Chains A and B, each alone.
Chain A
Amino acid sequence: MNAPNSFRTQPDDRGHFGAFGGRYVAETLMPLVLELDTAYRAAKADPAFRLQFDDLLEHYVGRPSPLYYAERLTEALREGAPDGKGAQIWFKRDELNHTGAHKINNCIGQILLAMRMGKTRIIAETGAGQHGVATATVCARFGLPCIIYMGAKDIERQAPNVFRMKLLGAEVRPVTSGSHSLKDAMNEGMRDWVANVHDTFYIIGTAAGPHPYPEMVRDFQSVIGTEARAQMLSRINRLPDLLVAAIGGGSNAIGLFHPFLDDGDVMMLGVEAAGRGLDKEHAASLAGGSPGILHGNKTYLLQDEDGQITEAHSISAGLDYPGIGPEHSWLHSIGRVEYTSVTDTEALDAFQLLCRTEGIIPALEPAHAIAAVATRAREMDRDQIILANLCGRGDKDIFTVAEALGVKI
């Protein structure tokens, strides 16, 4: 295949990333999706919008997030590595953002757009609760009513985040349809939106959904990669050899990757959740799924031969989704980004490794990325650089981890 001139010009004006993406929504929503697209184009072209976004990211979110050389982790992984192997590991510290994850970047962008469009009511879906907390946070900040749809199963395993959302003034609506998790929360979000189109803005948390969401979420999250690229150049005057990020829907990964896509020497690795194993229950849509249509876009999905969506499993609620953002499906299909997967057990090991070597308790989502980093670092030369996105902190996950390790707290 001929390489395109740039990997950064997708999607087309109908929202297609190659054969993926698009706008597969009911007619009731279609005019709204088109209106959103028009409003987003206008905002994107308006320097005032950008200034407002950048200002809030700096003074409210706490950006830029640090770029950190993980010296002890690097050393730990060099032990037992072949001679001369053990790449240097750097982290983009997006877990230090206000609310503890990268999700807030996108929420700031979308709520500014919502207000620009005159919308007065905000809805969102959440899995792990990080996007719900980030949405509730920006709603509190701007004084808009906020309704969060969350799978009943996730409400149970993410109690601290449910309480945070309530403290922030959001109404958390349990979703008991389907598998009671993230995909069902997204269905309920769509149902709410379709019934309240006149005043409601749906803040989708991942780089999926009908166009323009995948593009818009990517653009707002690209602050991660844009900062990291500049920080790398300014600190060590070179780009990393490998980028690594965890993928549920894939918003933190696309945010890190996109600004580097045209840097041909930078390799990229997206890490899906292999759950209990790819031959058992998992959430790895690329490794174990096939293309299909769900939640407004065409992308890789976990599904059966009749196109019924199958349930995803991951110890990380944030990765427990049977689809993936369409741009990842495209980057996978053209081979620009490599994708791998990591099991629950491997992620738990990496979680503990990072706690002990760097004094950082990561969320279970980036723990998947760290597990992949540990494998790759040992295969790469010592003068090579891996940059991984530490997309969330692990406070919310300590109960899940304790249970998995058989510890009562």
Chain B
Amino acid sequence: MTRLATAFAKPHRALVTFVTAGDGPTADILDALVEGGADVIELGMPFTDPMADGPAIQAANIRSLLAGTKTADILAIAKAFRFRHPEVPLVLMGYANPMTIRGPEWFAAAAKEAGVDGVICVDIPPEEDPELGPALRAVGIDPIRLATPTTDAARLPTVLDGASGFLYYVSVAGITGLQQAQQTSIDEAVARLKAHTNLPVAVGFGVRTPEQAAAIARVADGVVVGSAIVELVATHGVDAPAYVRAYIESLATAIHAATKEVA
């Protein structure tokens, strides 16, 4: 079983956490995420033009790039994480251009070598899969697809064709971190997705509080939290790991409790 499959097979619903690489003390923040109870780590690759991101993650991208973060640094962060945490699944998330600039095979090989389990590329839809998907599959990295409120029943098979690892349900038609979807719409969407796929479904965009996370955990296999963590990094800088750990603990506790309720 892959590390991702193992994480989603745990007795509780998965907490999927996002942080931007190179923004703040990333290695320590990643350790804090794991210690706090995160089950899957998404490591954001900063990009100059993060079109799908809201203000919090845009700012994190810019801070990271201004600090001089290079692709080689991100891969080194991933590799060191894999050494420290052999079992925790690590997903790289970002935009097409930094991932494909040296060719998809280069990126897939470098990510594999760094111990990466999955890749979420925001701006490569299934229609452009040849740009990156085949190279990832060839080395055994899961290309993780996104489904959104605008992905209708007719389109869903296109999204699922070639998807692996888990399915990331973007619960809001919008950019990251701004609004929270109505819980009833999430419930319906997850039920619809699960009727079409055996992949675990993780729900994200706008999730901030333990209560929201718990509500989602009652219906979905995973809960994704990103902007709220990135904001803690923005606020606390080098001191962020302790705050991140405490915050992740509060989310993990809520998710574990919610899992027991539905069990």
Q: Could you list 8 further interchain pairs (A-B, Cβ under 8 angstroms) beyond the known A26-B125, A306-B70?
A: A23-B127, A24-B131, A28-B174, A191-B175, A301-B97, A306-B71, A307-B71, A307-B99
| A27 x B148 contact (CB < 8 A) | yes
Decide yes or no whether A31 CB sits under 8 A from chain B.
yes
Decide yes or no whether A195 CB sits under 8 A from chain B.
yes
Q: Do A26 and B51 contact each other (CB < 8 Å), given the known contacts A32-B150, A197-B173, A306-B71?
A: yes
| A194 x B96 contact (CB < 8 A) | no
B128 → A minimal CB distance (Å): 6
Decide yes or no whether A30 CB sits under 8 A from chain B.
yes
Decide yes or no whether B65 CB sits under 8 A from chain A.
yes
Decide yes or no whether A183 CB sits under 8 A from chain B.
yes
Choose from A26, A177, A191, A306 the contact partner of B98 (Cβ within 8 Å). A306
- Among A190, A292, A306, A308, the one with the most B-chain Cβ atoms within 10 Å of its Cβ is A306
> For the complex, would chain A's binding face be called helix, strand, loop or mixed by DSSP majority?
mixed
| B146 x A308 contact (CB < 8 A) | no
In the assembled complex, the Cα of A365 lies from the Cα of B147 at a distance in Å of: 41
In the assembled complex, the Cα of A30 lies from the Cα of B159 at a distance in Å of: 11
- Chain A neighbourhood of B257, CB < 8 A: none
Choose from A34, A194, A294 the contact partner of B49 (Cβ within 8 Å). A294
Decide yes or no whether A22 CB sits under 8 A from chain B.
yes
Q: Do A177 and B58 contact each other (CB < 8 Å), given the known contacts A23-B127, A31-B152?
A: yes
Decide yes or no whether A278 CB sits under 8 A from chain B.
no
Interface residues as binary, A296-327 with B (CB distance below 8 Å gives 1, 0 otherwise):
10000101011111000000000000000000
| A31 x B150 contact (CB < 8 A) | yes
| B174 x A195 contact (CB < 8 A) | yes
| A22 x B128 contact (CB < 8 A) | yes
Decide yes or no whether B123 CB sits under 8 A from chain A.
yes
| A191 x B51 contact (CB < 8 A) | yes
- Chain B neighbourhood of A195, CB < 8 A: 173-175, 178
- Chain A neighbourhood of B65, CB < 8 A: 308
Decide yes or no whether B100 CB sits under 8 A from chain A.
yes
> For chain B residues 107-126, which have a beta carbon within 8 Å of chain A?
122-125
Decide yes or no whether B195 CB sits under 8 A from chain A.
no
Choose from B49, B149, B159 the contact partner of A309 (Cβ within 8 Å). B49
> For the complex, would chain B's binding face be called helix, strand, loop or mixed by DSSP majority?
loop
Decide yes or no whether A14 CB sits under 8 A from chain B.
yes
- Chain A neighbourhood of B147, CB < 8 A: 27
Q: Do A14 and B148 contact each other (CB < 8 Å), given the known contacts A26-B52, A294-B97?
A: no
| B124 x A24 contact (CB < 8 A) | yes
Chain B residue at minimal CB-CB distance from A24: B123
Chain B residues in the interface with A (C-beta under 8 A) = 47-52, 54, 58, 62, 65, 70-71, 95-101, 122-125, 127-128, 131, 145-152, 155, 159, 170, 173-175, 178
Interface residues as binary, A241-277 with B (CB distance below 8 Å gives 1, 0 otherwise):
0000000000000000000000000000000000000
| B128 x A24 contact (CB < 8 A) | yes
A215 → B minimal CB distance (Å): 16
| B51 x A183 contact (CB < 8 A) | no
Q: Do A26 and B122 contact each other (CB < 8 Å), given the known contacts A187-B49, A197-B150, A307-B101?
A: yes
- Chain B neighbourhood of A401, CB < 8 A: none
Decide yes or no whether A25 CB sits under 8 A from chain B.
yes
Q: Give 7 nearest A-B pairs by CB, closest first.
A: A307-B101, A195-B174, A307-B98, A307-B97, A293-B96, A28-B148, A27-B146
Decide yes or no whether A336 CB sits under 8 A from chain B.
no
- Chain B neighbourhood of A24, CB < 8 A: 96, 123-125, 128, 131
Decide yes or no whether A295 CB sits under 8 A from chain B.
yes
B68 → A minimal CB distance (Å): 11
B61 → A minimal CB distance (Å): 9
- What count of chain A residues pass the 8 Å CB interface test? 36
A194 → B minimal CB distance (Å): 6
* 25 A-B pairs in the complex with CB atoms less than 8 angstroms apart: A22-B128, A23-B128, A24-B124, A24-B131, A25-B125, A26-B51, A26-B123, A27-B125, A27-B150, A28-B52, A28-B149, A30-B155, A177-B58, A183-B49, A190-B52, A195-B178, A293-B96, A293-B97, A293-B100, A294-B49, A301-B97, A307-B47, A307-B97, A309-B49, A309-B97
| A308 x B175 contact (CB < 8 A) | no
Q: Do A194 and B173 contact each other (CB < 8 Å), given the known contacts A187-B49, A187-B51, A292-B97?
A: yes
Chain B residue at minimal CB-CB distance from A188: B51
> For chain A residues 211-228, which have a beta carbon within 8 Å of chain B?
none
Decide yes or no whether A143 CB sits under 8 A from chain B.
no
In the assembled complex, the Cα of A183 lies from the Cα of B47 at a distance in Å of: 13
Chain B residue at minimal CB-CB distance from A33: B125
Chain A residue at minimal CB-CB distance from B54: A191
| B170 x A27 contact (CB < 8 A) | yes
- Chain A neighbourhood of B159, CB < 8 A: 27
| A194 x B175 contact (CB < 8 A) | yes
- Chain A neighbourhood of B100, CB < 8 A: 292-293, 307
In the assembled complex, the Cα of A306 lies from the Cα of B49 at a distance in Å of: 13
Decide yes or no whether A178 CB sits under 8 A from chain B.
yes
Chain A residue at minimal CB-CB distance from B52: A26
Chain A residue at minimal CB-CB distance from B46: A308
Q: Do A305 and B127 contact each other (CB < 8 Å), given the known contacts A24-B96, A28-B170, A197-B150?
A: no
- Chain B neighbourhood of A309, CB < 8 A: 48-49, 97
